[in-house]
Structure 1
Amino acid sequence: MIPEINIIIPLYNEEKVFPLLISRITELLNRSQLVITVILVDDGSSDSTSFLMKQLSSVDDRFLSVILSRNFGHQIALTAALTMVNASEAVMIIDGDLQDPPELLQEMYLFYKDGYDVVYAVRESRKEGAFKVGLYKLFYRMLQKIASIDIPLDSGDFSLISRRVVDVMNKMPEESRYLRGMRSWVGFKQIGYKYSRPDRQAGNTQYTLRHLLRLAMNGIFNFSEFPIKFITFLGVSTMSISVIYFIVTLVKRFSSDYIPDGFTAIIFLIILFGGVQLISIGIIGEYLIRVFFQVKKRPLFIIKELIVDKKEIKNWDIS
């Protein structure tokens, strides 16, 4: 029997929260009338996460474990899980820290049955530091303003998506992936589902500020033309400032005894144009580095081991 629903969960050094995660998932599987298979992906953990996954999959065939050869990153781990999907209907994406409650599957599934291909979770509130919450809100609102597509506010990867959306996303070859943007780009009928995001249940977050910044940059540069157009705006603005400064200087020179301070003017122009050039090069560089990695056509991920139907397959190198 082909499972009706897959739940995919990326994991990275989550040994502390793993028992609680599996307990809640198992409870959901036991009481749900849906046929559900869970796809766990270990993203190169250095703790016992992969061991716990393999141990679970070897005794319960409702859990499929994918062990990646190293840490490829959260978005790539999700991508690996999406390629392993075998559900006939839909796929639920959640994080392993239980900030995305798996129990919401039943309510989100009702929207799917009403004809929605994407049911994305919208965070009404989140139990995190005020500074971090403020940054999230600022980023999502800025991205919505500059993005070339409509990316819903305050929505992450937590979602229920139809099998046909999964199939389309699996055909998208982006190396610098921003899945929530790709999910919006696909189109089809989509709806938001509001929820209050709880705190992490155990352990520490593996998403550092550096990782969050990289994800934000992927969102901006992959789904917006604004950065490259900003260079033109910056160039026109600086040229205008320089022309105005030049005109003012000429007027003062010929209408009074004012003598321009050459050293000050030169320093001003050097700083102004030097800063503009460096910003422009940096923006162009962000696009170029994405093209550079994309044209290499390396596999997005490498699967080291696969445990399915209680059987372990090693040296799995298809990606």
Structure 2
Amino acid sequence: MIDISIVVPLYNEEQVFSQLAKRLTDVMDSVPFSCEVVMVNDGSSDKTADLLEDLCHKDTRFTGVLLSRNHGHQLAVTAGLAHTRGRQGVMVIDGDLQDPPELVTEFHNLLMRGYDVIYAVRKNRKESVIKRFAYWIYYRLQKKISNFNIPIDSGDFSMLSRRVVDHMNDMPEQSRYLRGMRSWIGFKQTGYEYNRDERQAGETKYSWKKLFELAFNGIFNFSDFPVRVITRLGFFTILLSLLYLCYIIVRKVVFDDVPQGFTATLMAIILFSGVQLISLGLIGEYVLRIYNQVRNRPLFIVDKLLQEGKEIKKQNSTL
């Protein structure tokens, strides 16, 4: 029986793979409970897939899930969760070793004390000043506008009880924001502060574009604030129009003149057009998510599954 599964998404992690495998092996050798590691190759273009296959054949405690293409970090983690067998819980870490796998013992102790979600809280970051500031602003904005509590400064690094994993596997949403999903599920949750390490090798796979996509998923999936903004913008423009109308009436009655000029008209057109475009854009974000969801495409496609040292199947596998 496997007690704890460790899910590790991988995308072009050839440079750090050997160090990652060694640290995970050392962890499994040292802990007093049984473990497996589910490593998900997210369509890597380097030798990550080959290294993963060799590792799975050498050590049966490693399971390899090779996706058909690059699906993105959140879906790679989702694929890993779908293939875990840990009866007590699942730990999620990144493949760049910024999340120390050695914390599995501390997380497991909290799991045994009755917590269903143990999320890691970053005390410090090794990113640039601009990124640290952007993260700081985003997490606090998200906390303020979210419909429920999503912990500040917590990423995907966490340990989830078996029942939380099962509930997350039953959630079919396409635009996934895993840290929001685990918070939405509820149950007993707690944070664990840790110092986030630097990436051990290679470069970050999260570009600014991907970070913004993830941030939008966090805002649009777990807050009704964007829709309410449209209503507030509408009331604001109506109020602004009424104030301007009052100004025109006063000028007409008191001074017997009406403001003339192309500039005032142009500014009014630009203002209202801008408000309309923003409103359409916000509505479009929700429509796009509805469109992606109703197509009912699989969240991911597995090309190959390696488990217990052998290939289990080589066919499409979806959640």
> TM-score with structure 1 length normalisation?
0.98
Report the alpha carbon displacement of residue 314 of structure 1 after superposing the two structures with TM. 4.7
Q: Distance in 2 between matches of 1:314 and 1:89?
A: 26
Alpha-carbon distance, 1:242 to partner: 1.1
Alignment partner of 1:289 is 2:300:
no
- Determine helix, strand or coil for the equivalent of 2:71: coil
CA separation in 1, counterparts of 2:230 and 2:156?
A: 31
| Counterpart-to-counterpart distance in 2, 1:61 and 1:182 | 31
The 5 A counterparts of 1:186-205 are: 186-205=185-204
Structure 1 match to 2:228:
229
Residue type of the alignment partner of 1:59 = K
Same amino acid, percent of matched pairs: 52
Matches within 5 A, 1:135-146: 135-146=134-145
2:28 alignment counterpart: 29
Deviation at 1:259, TM superposition (A): 3.3
Q: Deviations over 1:108-152 (max 9, x none)?
A: 111111110000000011111111000001000000000001000
Taking the aligned partners of 1:237 and 1:282, their CA distance within structure 2 comes to 18
Higher mean displacement: 178-187 or 25-34? 25-34
Are the aligned partners of 2:40 and 2:67 in contact in 1 as well (CA < 8 Å)? yes
Question: Which ranges of structure 1 fall in alignment gaps of 5 or more residues?
Answer: none
Identify the residue that residue 132 of structure 1 maps to in structure 2.
131
Verify the 8 A CA contact 2:117 2:161 in the aligned structure 1: yes
Q: Which residue of 1 aligns with 2:55?
A: 56
Question: Normalization by structure 2: what TM-score?
Answer: 0.98
Question: How many residues are aligned here?
Answer: 318
Shift in Å, 1:252: 1.5
| Stretches of structure 2 lacking an aligned partner (at least 5 in a row) | none
Output the CA distance in 1 between the equivalents of 2:196 and 2:121: 9
User: For the residues of structure 1 that align with 2:257 and 2:171, how far apart are their CA atoms?
Assistant: 63
1:256-295 alignment runs, 5 A limit: 256-295=255-294
Matched, 1:308 2:286: no
Measured after TM superposition, the shift of residue 295 of structure 1 is: 0.1
In structure 1, the residue corresponding to 2:14 is in which secondary structure? coil
1:169 shift after superposition: 0.6
2:90 partner letter? V
SS of structure 2 residue aligned to 1:61: coil
RMSD, aligned CA: 0.9
* Secondary structure of 1:58 counterpart: helix
Which segment drifts farther, 282-291 or 22-31?
A: 22-31
Q: Deviations over 1:33-60 (max 9, x none)?
A: 1100000000000000010000100111
In the TM superposition, what are the counterparts of 1:1-319 in structure 2 within 5 Å?
2-319=1-318
Where 1:289 maps in the other structure, the secondary structure is: helix
Aligned AA for 2:77? Answer: L
Query: For the residues of structure 2 that align with 1:80 and 1:59, how far apart are their CA atoms?
Result: 22
Give the superposition deviation at 1:264.
2.3
State the 1:263 CA deviation: 1.8
SS of alignment partner, residue 15 of structure 2: coil
CA distance in 1 between partners of 2:95 and 2:164 (Å): 22
Q: Deviations over 1:226-262 (max 9, x none)?
A: 0001000000001101110111121012211443124
- In 1: Cα distance, 2:240 partner to 2:137 partner: 29
| Off by >6 Å, runs of 4+ in structure 1 | none
Query: Is residue 303–residue 317 contact of structure 2 (8 Å, CA) maintained in 1?
Result: no
Q: In 2, Cα distance between the equivalents of 1:11 and 1:250?
A: 66
Q: Deviations over 1:256-280 (max 9, x none)?
A: 1443124223212211110000000
Per-residue CA deviation, residues 153-179 of structure 1 (Å, 9 max, x unaligned), is 000000011000000011001000000
Cα distance, 1:223 vs. partner? 0.0
Q: Secondary structure at the match of 2:50?
A: helix
